[in-house]
Structure 1
């Protein structure tokens, strides 16, 4: 691995890389084929590292980042989507990585699409998880969600629930991210609780879903940027794309994956899946295997044509 000019980049540690376009918080883990991991809105490098958890560390080198305005990555004066893409390219240059697969979730989707559009020669494949693909307007979230995720006190209660009311926290997380209710919600909750990997993921990722503190500026910037999207020029994406979406997702509606679906892509809709479906669903391991297969393939040309 190449060292950044003024930074010692170490595997399995969180570093702040200085580039000409600013600073980016980065964590690198594993060895093998490089995968850029782009978290959603809100999030941070902690969320990206959780996203990459299904990738075997002896086969993949995950480059997880905090996007602008999240945790230790400053928002900067130019907060556009394309500027964020340019920052990511500069980080990869520092690391000596010329071509890479991209794994993106939710609000990381627009950045991943624009990366593939602006730098097609550098992207081998895209895996888009419940990803935004066009203009998004922030919904009017329920009062309880605004309290839990938008205040320091609410964030503290989430951590408390993780210790004293785990079942309720898992159930609430699934309910807040999807349209499942009643017996179906109870069944999904029981399945997640019975699976240690899925249970631990939902528990951990919930702690990163804060609109407050060190994530507030990034969240606000995403809300502004995504509400102004005219086009992401999806028709210019030429690399293989895997789209995975829960059909009961209420956070990012399945229509966003349908909009992005074309002859270059494969679309998988998970029945009853919430916004967390790639990681918490009866078919999670099957779709994760498909994602691993795609990012393992390094085509001679990143195009089907």
Structure 2
């Protein structure tokens, strides 16, 4: 009887503990949703609604987030780089957070949705700051709407046709990234129990985190938390493959806007060769290669802030 009573006690404690953890995960996820809904806005486009956040005063800059993001990740990127003095429009791409997932979610359709958003906001010309998976639709925008773009800054560009999405030395297999964002509870647990592994997964590996400034350490911490609610980003993550669809061709030679491409050679998520290809095919472009920094360009945010600000102001 004593053994049975002990087993029941252990089972009870496990159940109670599980309930407490579940409640905490639900609470934190709900708080994230409430915070997002307090600042977002929507616009109608030919491809469904697009979600965005707008802030700041100055020349307009469209911010296009990477895989797993949303308009909130775009704002985090701007803040991490310490960029000020612009009117920022940070969007959620197709399938992320509150943005629609149309029947044809191609990068060309995404570029058209961006243009519709700008039309609704009364913005004729815009510069672009795009990160990783946000680069292919940014390139398509510059190709399709050459008269509506001033400057374009591309950070750690993701592969697009004819590149392959597969990279041999990724921290974790590609399919795991999608799995991480399918369940809010599982992702929340990982942020509490395996945070360092998540940092490695997003290429904020230990050797790159050594000696970082306080602001960059805060950026990494916020980035991990920004993926909640994970489930509201899963459709968008699943749509990242459209960038490498053989039918999605990119006429980079048609782009006339000044383009600044920044990429670290030791990026373990996206090939450095993608940036070299962009710089070789876009006539008015410059490539800023970094020997270290990984996908998130760690250790360089302060110097990049000055470089990006100067480029957006005068293209140099």
The residue aligned with 1:286 is 303
Deviations 1:126-181 (A, max 9, x none): 100011353332558448766644443331124325xxxxxx73x54553344x9x
The residue aligned with 2:292 is 272
Seen in structure 2, the aligned counterparts of structure 1 residues 55 and 228 have a Cα distance that, compared at 3 Å, is farther
Conserved? CA contact 2:95–2:236, under 8 Å: yes
Which structure 2 residues correspond to residues 234-253 of structure 1 after superposition, within 5 A? 234-253=252-271
Tell which structure's C-alpha radius of gyration is larger: 2
Cα distance in 2, alignment partners of residues 207 and 226 from structure 1: 28
Q: Which of residues 223, 234, 239 is equivalent to 1:205?
A: 223
Helix, strand or coil at the partner of 2:135: helix
Deviations 1:230-271 (A, max 9, x none): 531111111111111111101111011011113421111211
Cα distance in 1, alignment partners of residues 54 and 202 from structure 2: 29
Which structure 2 residues correspond to residues 1-305 of structure 1 after superposition, within 5 A? 13-53=39-79, 54=81, 56-57=83-84, 59-132=85-158, 134-135=160-161, 136-138=164-166, 141-142=172-173, 148-161=180-193, 169=195, 172-173=197-198, 175-178=200-203, 186-192=206-212, 195-209=213-227, 212-228=230-246, 230-262=248-280, 263-277=283-297, 280-281=298-299, 283-297=300-314
Conserved? CA contact 2:65–2:130, under 8 Å: yes
Deviations 1:271-294 (A, max 9, x none): 1221001xx22x321122111111
Cα distance in 2, alignment partners of residues 175 and 271 from structure 1: 18
Conserved? CA contact 2:83–2:305, under 8 Å: no
Cα distance in 1, alignment partners of residues 159 and 76 from structure 2: 22
Deviation at 1:96, TM superposition (A): 0.9
Seen in structure 2, the aligned counterparts of structure 1 residues 212 and 174 have a Cα distance that, compared at 3 Å, is closer
Cα distance in 2, alignment partners of residues 238 and 30 from structure 1: 27
Helix, strand or coil at the partner of 2:239: helix
TM-score by length of 1: 0.79
Conserved? CA contact 2:178–2:238, under 8 Å: no
Higher helix share: 2
Conserved? CA contact 1:49–1:64, under 8 Å: yes
Conserved? CA contact 1:241–1:264, under 8 Å: yes
Cα distance in 2, alignment partners of residues 294 and 258 from structure 1: 19
The residue aligned with 1:5 is none
Conserved? CA contact 1:150–1:210, under 8 Å: no
Deviations 1:17-71 (A, max 9, x none): 22343211110010001100000112111111111213544x1010000001000
Name stretches of at least 5 consecutive residues in structure 2 with no aligned partner: 1-37
Conserved? CA contact 1:42–1:210, under 8 Å: no
Cα distance in 2, alignment partners of residues 242 and 191 from structure 1: 27
Deviation at 1:211, TM superposition (A): 10
The residue aligned with 1:6 is none
Q: Name the Cα RMSD after superposition.
A: 2.6
Cα distance in 2, alignment partners of residues 86 and 106 from structure 1: 19
